[in-house]
Every structure is written in C-alpha cells, then in structure tokens.
Amino acid sequence: MPDDAKRVGCRTLLDVLDYRAERHADALAYRFLASSGEEDGTLSCGALRTDAARMARQIARLAAPGDRVVLLLPPGLDYITALWACQCAAVVAVPAYPPNPRRPDARVARIAADSGAHVAIVSATLHHRLAPFIAASPTLAHLAWLDVEDMRNAGTEELVRRSAADDVAFLQYTSGSTGDPRGVILPHAAVLHNLSVIHRASRPREGDHAVFWVPPYHDMGLIGAILQPLYAGYPVSLMSPSTFAQRPVRWLEAISRYRGTTSGAPNFAYDLCAERVSEEESASLDLSCWRIAINGAEPVRPETPDHFAARFAPMGFRRAAFMPSYGLAETTLLAAGQSREQDPTVISVDRGSL
C-alpha cells in the first residue's frame, strides 16, 4: 500500500508536498482535462513544488504569515498551484467560487470581510471584468489583487516559509443554514488527520489513479480530489464541473482512458450518467478498473447504486465499488463511510421511533 504521509513524519501540508517532491520529483501529480476530454496540461510533483515556491514569492510581497488569501480562480492547474503556493508562503488559503462577471453577487465580499483577507488571487481576464464591481465594494477595493498570469511569469526566485501543525492551513466556507457564508477553520493537524483517516479507509494500492470533476471550492473537490491524491502518492486527472455538466460521459471516459481506480461525486451525478449516457457513448467504456466510487456530498438515494451498476455492469463496473459516505467541512471531509469493496447495505427505519 502507498505510504501514509502523516505516518512517515509529515505534520503540515507543505511537509506532504516536500515529501512527494523529494522522493518522486518526476511522478505525475495532477493532470487537467479540457472540455473536449483531451489533456490540457500536467504537473509533476517536482514541478508543482518549484512553481508553488515561485508563486509564494509573489504572495509574500503582499501577505505576512497567517494572512488570509482568497483564491478566485477557475478549476485548473493554476488553481492547484496557487493553493500550494499559499502553503509555501505560510498564508491561509480561502477557496471561493469566482463570481460571474455578468451577475456578480455579494458573497465574495462577505467571505473576504468575514475571513479578514488581505489578498485575492484571480485570473487577469476575471480581474478586468470585475473591475467596476471591485471598485464599488469597499471590502474588495481594500484587497491587494494578484493576477495569476503575472505570478506565473514573475521570475524563478523561490520562497518557502514554514507553518506549525497547529497553524491554520485554510478556511473552508459553507453556505450555512441561513445562506450566509460561514468559515470553518482547518489547522494543518486536523487536515492531515482526516487525510490519514481517508487513507486507511480507502486502502490505496500501487498504481492507483484518481479521476474527479467536482469543484475545488467544495470539500470533496478540495480535500478528496486535490489534497488526498498527493497525500497518498498517486496521480489524479481532473476536469471542470462544466465539462461534466455538458457531457456526463466525459467523466466515465476519463476513468476508462486513464484507468481510474478512485473517483467520486454527489448522488445526482450517478443518476445523471445512468439516464443520459447513451448506449453508443458507453459501448467503448471499460470501467473494470474502478474500485472506489465515492457517493457523498448530498443524500444517497438507495436505488442509485442499483441503477448505476445495472446500467454499467456490461462495461465492467461492480456495485461493490460504491462507497456511500457522509462528510462535512467541520471534520475536514470524511465523517463516516462504508468500507471499501463491500456491497452497500440499506436499512429502513421509522422516523418517529428515532
């Protein structure tokens, strides 16, 4: 089984990055897929460490250790590098959905105000299109804005500042019951503890490969799709949620093409694939490699595993791959989940008796 980064002495996320980069510099860490399903770019463990440390130099010009930095980037390798750059700079990353420039709302400003952010990282295009919105918001106008393209091209000088295990790694914002953004403080120790729990629950193997489309602002996308693979030492192929929404089969094609062993999504995604992927689209799929199919982030419908497994059994999918899970930001990600490679069990209870 691939090594558990926490058990070999890693105490912070930067320790994890250093551990992988030092031992497996040339190994693939992240692959991002374009909307066509074709490869758009890759990052090895070593290149990620170098690029993140270079970006960290730009962050450190504007932010001291422990300062909050809002990430307003679309899914992609720039987002991933900026996230790890925050770890190299010892600042607190605050992932947030980039606002729609056509209809910007106040959520980003509320997150910036609540977190006490000093800096925002954004694409140059979005920065330009949001300029009037930023100027009209005292909170956003107060931020220092960094364009990720400028950070990428700013030079080769690197910076690394160390955090302690009890320092905050990032703030995970949830909608909260009232709809107002609510930040959950996640120290490095808590994040690594949950990553270790997931590692033991999933029991990864040599040669594993993850495939995900879930957004990186969501805990499944941030923890499960970006942090967990590097923690466990296997690569991940990622795509934008919009790629999945436009053609759900792209998700399954990526699993088939890259021999994905681990993937996951909310319940609706499995239903959508069972309903919308045509016989013609699925004919060439080989899903026999898929060992762990995480189903979480929303209520799991008991009929979904049956429908999905029946639909894709001819392509090699096994119902026992389903891993129904419950998670919440307050526990980092995983709170409860079924053991791997066991058929999901459904029980019926009386609500009143409970």
* Mean pLDDT, all residues of the chain: 89
Q: What is the pLDDT of residue 9?
A: 86
As a three-state string, the secondary structure of the chain is CCCCCCCCCCCCHHHHHHHHHHHCCCCEEEEEECCCCCEEEEEEHHHHHHHHHHHHHHHHCCCCCCCEEEEECCCCHHHHHHHHHHHHCCCEEEECCCCCCCCCCCHHHHHHHHHCEEEEEECHHHHHHHHHHHHHCHHHHHCEEEEHHHHHCCCCCCCCCCCCCCCEEEEEEECCCCCCCEEEEEEHHHHHHHHHHHHHHHCCCCCCCEEECCCCCCHHHHHHHHHHHHHHCCCEEEECHHHHHHCCHHHHHHHHHHCCCEEEECHHHHHHHHHHCCHHHHCCCCCCCCCEEEECCCCCCCHHHHHHHHHHHHHCCCHHHEEEEEECHHHCCEEEECCCCCCCCCCCCCCCCC
Torsion angle, alpha carbons of 77, 78, 80, 85, to 10: 140
**Portion of the chain with pLDDT greater than 90, in percent:** 71
CATH topology of domain 189-337: Rossmann fold (3.40.50)
Average pLDDT over residues 156-182: 82
Output the pLDDT for position 339. Answer: 57
For 127-131, 202-206, 347-351, which range has the lowest pLDDT when averaged over its residues?
Answer: 347-351
What pLDDT digit, counting tens, does each position of 255-290 carry? 999 999 999 999 999 999 999 999 999 999 999 999
Ramachandran angles phi, psi of 232, nearest 5°: -85, -15
Q: What pLDDT does 174 receive?
A: 75
Q: Is the pLDDT of residue 127 over 70?
A: yes
> How high is the pLDDT of residue 329?
54
Task: Look at residue 219 in the predicted model and tell me its pLDDT.
Answer: 82
* Chain mean position to CA 320: 24
CATH no. of 42-187: 3.40.50.980
Least confident among 92-106, 133-147, 190-204, 329-343:
329-343
The pLDDT value recorded for residue 124 is 96
- Are 243 and 275 in contact by the 8 Å Cβ rule? The answer is no
Handedness of CA 308, 310, 311, 313 (dihedral sign): positive
Rounded Cα distance between 85 and 324, Å, is 33
The whole-number pLDDT of residue 163 equals 96
As given in the structure block, the two tokens for residue 235 are 């690569």
Say yes or no to pLDDT of 318 above 80: yes
Q: What is the pLDDT of residues 7-29, one digit of tens each?
A: 778 999 999 999 999 999 999 99
> What pLDDT, on the 0 to 100 scale, is given for residue 100?
84
- Alpha carbons 226 and 80: distance in angstroms, whole number: 7
Report which of residues 57 and 155 the model is more confident about. Answer: 57
User: Quick check: 327 pLDDT over 80?
Assistant: no
| CA 295 – CA 153 distance, rounded (Å) | 39
Q: Is the pLDDT of residue 297 over 80?
A: no
In this structure, of 26-40, 50-64, 90-104, the range with the lowest mean pLDDT score is 90-104
Please tell me the predicted confidence (pLDDT) of residue 302.
Answer: 74
User: Please, which pLDDT band fits residue 216 given cuts at 50, 70 and 90?
Assistant: very high
d(CA 20, CA 29): 9
pLDDT of 178 > 80? The answer is no
In the chain, CATH 3.40.50.980 covers 42-187, 189-337
Look at residue 324 in the predicted model and tell me its pLDDT: 77
Does the pLDDT of residue 176 top 70, yes or no?
A: no
Q: How confident is the model at residue 332 (pLDDT cuts 50, 70, 90)?
A: very low
